[in-house]
């Protein structure tokens, strides 16, 4: 059996530049080839850095404990699509939670997280924020490129509309939280600024809001960041100070020696089970304390 390729921090950084900054696919593979020593080695390492859509779900789509459906609702800019999961055992309305995807759009990994939350007793709605552009495509690179076409103000307005729609659902109480990852974590921070009716916000390695906007936040916030994520963490201390200075309710956890996207269990090189499990346990405890 061949040895598993070695993935270095420099390779992970190159992938982060490719997926979040200006590096294109060809430039990324060229750089990865130099770091790995050959094109063949780079070809073996690239799938370990990327998310694997074939990864098995933790909660299967046909799990009888949850009820799932594709939904449409009126957003601020038009019709929005989404994936909703409800606890099949619920006899009364339950708290709601928006699940906001990474910069890959609404994919099977996010649907899986949505089902996990439903199993915990929440009405979970994963919104496809690429709906104004026709919805999330099957190709990850195409999906990622589409995010540059979204207008920030429109996206935040669609998030507020999604929160409002979910709060008005007959099977949902008026209490609605939001959880987001990467791009979605940044959107949760923006939503908390824009929507005083958001009950709670949970951010996984998301870009921070401008400190001058922090006074507008009414939601309780739980912030998860990766110790090695220098790009995203650049504004973290300023955000923390603004939250403290404005007497906001929040918790902040920085997980040492883990990378951006440490929660995504479909990305072998960056996923950290230890950090992900700890962050998830903290997330569930936080939701229980703020939503019930």
User: Which pTM was predicted?
Assistant: 0.87
Best CA proximity match to 18, nearest among 288, 283, 272, 261 = 261
pLDDT in tens, 201-233: 999 999 999 999 999 999 999 999 999 999 999
Q: List all residues 6 or more positions away from 72 whose beta carbon is below 8 Å from its beta carbon.
A: 79, 80, 81, 82
138 and 248, same structural domain?
A: yes
Q: List all residues 6 or more positions away from 104 whose beta carbon is below 8 Å from its beta carbon.
A: 51, 136, 140, 143, 144
235 and 137, same structural domain?
A: yes
> Residue 97 and residue 175: Cα distance in Å, rounded?
8
Q: Is residue 199 part of a domain?
A: yes
pLDDT in tens, 51-93: 665 454 789 999 999 999 999 999 999 999 999 999 999 999 9
Q: Is residue 54 part of a domain?
A: no
> Residue 84 and residue 80: Cα distance in Å, rounded?
13
* SS3 call for 91: coil
124 and 231, same structural domain?
A: yes
> Residue 113 and residue 116: Cα distance in Å, rounded?
5
120 and 27, same structural domain?
A: no
């Amino acid at each position: 059996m061949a040895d598993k390729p070695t993935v270095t921090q420099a390779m992970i950084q190159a992938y982060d530049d490719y997926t979040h900054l200006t590096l294109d696919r060809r430039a990324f593979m060229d750089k990865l080839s130099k770091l790995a020593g050959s094109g063949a080695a780079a070809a073996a390492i690239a799938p370990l850095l990327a998310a694997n859509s074939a990864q098995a779900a933790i909660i299967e789509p046909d799990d009888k404990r949850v009820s799932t459906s594709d939904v449409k609702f009126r957003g601020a800019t038009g019709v929005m699509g989404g994936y909703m999961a409800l606890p099949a055992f619920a006899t009364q309305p339950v708290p709601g939670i928006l699940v906001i995807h990474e910069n890959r759009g609404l994919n099977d990994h996010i649907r899986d997280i949505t089902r996990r939350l439903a199993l915990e007793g929440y009405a979970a709605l994963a919104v496809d924020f690429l709906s104004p552009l026709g919805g999330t495509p099957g190709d990850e690179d195409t999906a990622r490129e589409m995010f540059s076409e979204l207008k920030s103000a429109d996206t935040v307005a669609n998030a507020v509309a999604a929160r409002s729609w979910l709060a008005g659902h007959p099977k949902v109480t008026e209490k609605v939280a939001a959880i987001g990852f990467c791009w979605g974590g940044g959107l949760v921070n923006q939503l908390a600024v824009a929507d005083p009716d958001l009950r709670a916000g949970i951010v996984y390695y998301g870009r921070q809001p401008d400190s001058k906007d922090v006074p507008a936040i009414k939601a309780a916030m739980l912030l998860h960041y990766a110790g090695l994520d220098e790009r995203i963490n650049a504004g973290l201390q300023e955000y923390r100070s603004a939250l403290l200075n404005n007497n906001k309710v929040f918790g902040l956890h920085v997980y040492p020696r883990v990378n951006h996207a440490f929660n995504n269990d479909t990305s072998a090189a960056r996923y950290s089970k230890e950090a992900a499990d700890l962050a998830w346990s903290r997330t569930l405890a936080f939701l229980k304390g703020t939503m019930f």
